[in-house]
Amino acid sequence: MERRKGKGFRGSWKPQPSSSSSSSSSSPSPSSYASNSPKTPTRAPANHNRTAPFVKDEQKTLERDEGPSEIPSLIGTCPDMCPERERAHRERLRDLAVFERLNGNPRRTSANLAVKKFCRTISTMNMQALDIRPLPVLQETLEYLFKLMESSEYPFDVVHDFVFDRTRSIRQDLGMQNIINDQVINMYEKMVEFHIISNHKLPSCNGNPNISSLHFLNMEQLVKSLVSLYELYGINRRFNLNNDNEAEFYSFYVLLHLGSDKNSTGESLSLWFQRLGSPIVKTKEMCFARSVFR
């Protein structure tokens, strides 16, 4: 797919505190967002540590792999693709994927091989900044994962299973830091493309008895990734900023629902089109998708 750079604002989005003296319909200006997205990925300082803030119920555990977080954001300081204490823990448990094993040893890994796993439930009581990877490290991790996709050493379904889990972890770290800028949008677009490619390739992996399950889960995360991406586009549009790829990625959502008049949430697609607005609906990408949909 052709890659075109978007034009989102560079900064991290955080909910602004309400004020009794201001109108509830007013919106903060883009200047209220501080930039935290360097153009060239660099390692975060390893000696900087910060304890994660808690929500009201400190015992609460959350499934967190999608979009902006409702919890006060952290500033990640983990300098590696996988936090050191997770690496040590997984070495003890021999919980290392084939791509993470040092010289094939299931008990040994390294900072250059291990990639943080997705965690379905996260306790905010135990979360620390050193457990979270900052944006530059997440960008490097994503690029590393996609290089594995080019490998012919392992069957595609094996590579997919690893990249599938680790990209969910990337989305999780992004959400916990409430980072929203054009670099993050580009990362989400690439992750959506990964799921689209997997959707095409997985059915041909006949040797795996679990391929139907992998295909179903991939479709599920494809839809979730698209919905999160649309949230990022929507935040940009609040400041009259548009991304060059919006129409293309909205058209993917339409094509995913061929043969159905409702989207994945049960909403009528005709209503979904109305909410998009005419600038996107009238693009050549959306016109093509709608013509196929009819």
Question: Which amino acid is it at 250?
Answer: Y
For the entire predicted model, the pTM comes to: 0.74
Residue 63, pLDDT score: 42
- Domain extents in the chain: 61-243, 244-294
CA distance 233 to 87: 35
The predicted-structure confidence for 57-99, as pLDDT tens digits, reads as follows: 222 333 445 555 555 567 899 999 999 999 999 999 999 999 9
Residue recorded with tokens 């008049």: 261
DSSP 1: -
- Angle of helix 269-276 versus helix 284-293 axis, rounded to 10: 170
Q: Which two tokens stand for residue 77?
A: 């300081």
Q: Which helix (H) or strand (E) holds 61?
A: strand 61-62
Give the per-residue pLDDT at 35. Answer: 34
Check residue 258 and give its pLDDT. 74
In the prediction, which pLDDT does 265 show?
Answer: 58
Q: In sequence order, which residues have a C-beta less than 8 Å from that of residue 181 and are 6 or more positions away?
A: 8, 9, 10, 11, 12, 35, 36, 37
Q: Say how far apart CA 254 and CA 287 lie, in whole Å.
A: 11
Q: Which stretches in the chain have pLDDT values below 70? A: 1-73, 123-126, 259-267, 294
